[in-house]
Chain A
Amino acid sequence: QQQVKQSPQSLIVQKGGISIINCAYENTAFDYFPWYQQFPGKGPALLIAIRPDVSEKKEGRFTISFNKSAKQFSLHIMDSQPGDSATYFCAASRDTNAGKSTFGDGTTLTVKP
């Protein structure tokens, strides 16, 4: 019930293309769904996040789409750039589970020039 399944494991996209990473969760009590971006040698950084009462959140080229009934959420990166090449982790947490976040296994994105 605590799992978050992330796909694909790796993704190669041409510059200017759309990158899409998907996550599925089981626990309907989750109420916070962040995406983290991690560059080699750095810690994860919060990229964008959504609450379950919203179906879409957009920040610049990054959009989260959230489907509560399907228990799925996805990250879309529009106009992908080589600088977006990084590992992306989805995560989920619930307010009552103090301090604990459940992470997906990560997606390594490579954007080719």
Chain B
Amino acid sequence: DTEVTQTPKHLVMGMTNKKSLKCEQHMGHRAMYWYKQKAKKPPELMFVYSYEKLSINESVPSRFSPECPNSSLLNLHLHALQPEDSALYLCASSHSNRVSYNSPLHFGNGTRLTVT
């Protein structure tokens, strides 16, 4: 089992709904990430938090709103999504935001999101 826990595992939402994805890690990591993964494609970076501050936003539409309440928790708030936003949303963490041999990425198992 992964040490990065994501809930829910599956989510179906309408285009007018508001929902949130949650991620938790207890490895003491200070960097946390949101990735989006479409079928048969590599993960695409969305956001990076370092020491609970947003350090990278990869030009993600504002209908995705990240939040890092503390060093162990990461949320992704969803509002007015489009069907093309349907994907696997992965959370990851690393010791620092310098992904390296000594600070590798640890991924969760993702939330499978379907937007109807």
Interface on A for B, CB 8 Å cutoff? 31-32, 34, 36, 41-46, 49-51, 87, 89, 91, 93, 95, 98-101, 103-106, 108
Complex Cα spacing A89 to B48, Å: 20
Interface on B for A, CB 8 Å cutoff? 2, 4, 31, 33, 40-43, 45, 48, 50, 55-56, 90, 92, 97-101, 104-110, 112
Would you call A46 and B42 a contact (CB within 8 A)? no
Whether A46 contacts B45 in the complex (CB less than 8 A), given A32-B100, A100-B99, comes out as no
In this complex, what residue of B is CB-closest to A4?
A: B42
18 contacts between A and B (CB under 8 A): A32-B100, A43-B2, A43-B110, A44-B43, A44-B90, A46-B105, A89-B42, A89-B43, A98-B48, A98-B97, A98-B98, A99-B48, A99-B56, A100-B45, A101-B99, A104-B42, A105-B42, A108-B40
Q: Which 10 A-B pairs have the closest CB atoms?
A: A103-B42, A43-B107, A99-B48, A99-B97, A98-B97, A43-B109, A93-B99, A32-B100, A44-B107, A43-B110
Whether A98 contacts B2 in the complex (CB less than 8 A), given A44-B43, A103-B42, comes out as no
Would you call B107 and A101 a contact (CB within 8 A)? no
Would you call B104 and A49 a contact (CB within 8 A)? yes
> Would you give the shortest CB distance from A52 to chain B, in whole angstroms?
10
In this complex, what residue of A is CB-closest to B45?
A: A100
Complex Cα spacing A80 to B112, Å: 29
- Give me 15 other A-B pairs in contact (C-beta within 8 A), A43-B107, A46-B105 excluded: A31-B100, A34-B105, A41-B112, A43-B4, A43-B90, A43-B92, A49-B101, A51-B101, A91-B42, A98-B55, A99-B33, A99-B45, A99-B56, A99-B97, A99-B99
Would you call B105 and A95 a contact (CB within 8 A)? no
In this complex, what residue of B is CB-closest to A87?
A: B40
Whether A106 contacts B56 in the complex (CB less than 8 A), given A46-B105, A99-B99, comes out as no
